[in-house]
């Protein structure tokens, strides 16, 4: 049986739909979890959707993904820009990882333009709102279920 796709969300994403709605929209984290589960189900996959404000917990979960996940969607929120430790955990994975940001981080403050996660992930999707999660899961699913042509790094 295939392992689930992990969808891990970092600090303040539990406030989704209630905070800075002009940036993040009105959908809640619960809505997003449902959207991810549906998208994964299309490919016959399950989805373990989690959120934490704790950097250490996120690292624990990324480490758990080494054995327990078939792919990882990671939105590390504010930790994207400061956590070498979290990026190191991602670097230790051999499953495919896609970094996602709801907003277009390149339109925001300069300190959000650099993410330590990016260089450790297969790819990055940002600025497409919750749609970005759906695309990431679709892309992972194609790789996991073999329906893509598996070029590495391209």
Q: Give the shortest CB-41-to-a copy of itself separation in angstroms.
A: 18
Instruction: Kindly indicate which of the ranges 1-9, 24-32, 42-50 contains the residues binding a copy of itself, using the contact rule CB under 8 A.
Output: 24-32
Region near a copy of itself per CB under 8 A, out of 1-9, 14-22, 40-48: 14-22
To the query of whether residue 101 is one of the catalytic residues in this protein, the response is yes
In the residue annotation, 24 being an active-site residue is answered as yes
| Residue with token string 């970094």 | 99
Min CB(48)–a copy of itself separation in Å: 18
The residue from 24, 79, 116, 133 that is catalytic is 24
89 binds a copy of itself (CB under 8 A): yes
Site string for a copy of itself, 110-129 (x = CB under 8 A): -xxxxxx-xx-xxxxxxxxx
- List the catalytic residue out of 79, 101, 116, 133: 101
Q: Which of 38, 54, 122, 129 minimizes the C-alpha distance to 86?
A: 54
* The two three-digit tokens of residue 103, written as one number: 């907003």
Number of residues engaging a copy of itself in binding (CB under 8 A)? 72
Q: In this chain, which of 98, 133, 141, 144 binds a copy of itself, going by CB under 8 A?
A: 98
Q: Contacts for 33-39 with beta carbons within 8 Å, 24 or more apart?
A: 33/7, 35/130, 35/133, 35/134, 36/5, 36/7, 36/73, 36/133, 36/134, 36/137, 39/133, 39/134, 39/137, 39/138, 39/141
> Please, which of residues 38-77 interact with a copy of itself by CB under 8 A?
52-57, 59-60, 63, 66, 77
Residues carrying an active site annotation: 24, 101
């Amino acid at each position: 049986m295939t392992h689930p796709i992990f969808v891990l969300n970092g600090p303040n994403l539990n406030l989704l739909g209630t905070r800075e709605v002009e940036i993040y929209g009105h959908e809640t984290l619960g809505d997003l979890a449902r959207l991810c589960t549906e998208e994964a189900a299309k490919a016959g996959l399950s989805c373990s959707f989690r959120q934490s404000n704790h950097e250490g917990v996120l690292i624990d979960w990324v480490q758990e993904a080494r054995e327990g996940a078939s792919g990882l969607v990671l939105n590390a929120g504010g930790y994207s820009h400061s956590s070498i430790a979290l990026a190191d955990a991602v670097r230790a994975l051999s499953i495919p990882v896609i970094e996602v940001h709801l907003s277009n981080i390149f339109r925001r403050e300069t300190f959000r333009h650099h993410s330590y996660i990016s260089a450790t992930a297969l790819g990055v999707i940002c600025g497409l709102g919750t749609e970005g999660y759906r695309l990431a899961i679709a892309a992972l699913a194609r790789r996991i279920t073999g329906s893509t042509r598996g070029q590495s790094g391209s």
